[in-house]
Amino acid sequence: MLPIHANVDLSCAGFYELSRDSLTARGASVNDLSLWRQFVSGSSAGITYWSLTYPTDVIKSSLQSDELQRSKRKYHGILDCARKLYRDEGWRRFYRGFSPCMLRAVPANATMLIVFENARQLLNRYM
């Protein structure tokens, strides 16, 4: 599942860049972006990331919480886990807990990307 998350990470970083650039006034630099616009850009990237990866995260968490002994395991691989989760509750099983995740994603991703932008600007100024 790592390649899936890596590709989505890159696309969400791209979405962050796109969002940030679209919120930058014409002729201005992204360094001039207000804190509020940085927050919106980071939040958008977080929402995009979790919307795309949440089902795979549910599968990963289910596999991680399975029994340690092979003979007692409920799931026998990624596809087996996905099939059993779907069979038990349908597609909704892959989005159980999605709302709290979104409530956390907005401030967490916005804060992380605001810190990233400000650290990048500081490093550019002094390097």
In order of their start, the domains of the chain are: 2-126 (1.50.40.10)
Question: Looking at the whole model, is its pTM more than 0.75?
Answer: no
**Structure confidence at residue 1 (pLDDT):** 47
Using a pLDDT cut of 70, give the percent of the chain over it. 91
Please give the single-letter amino acid code of residue 98: F
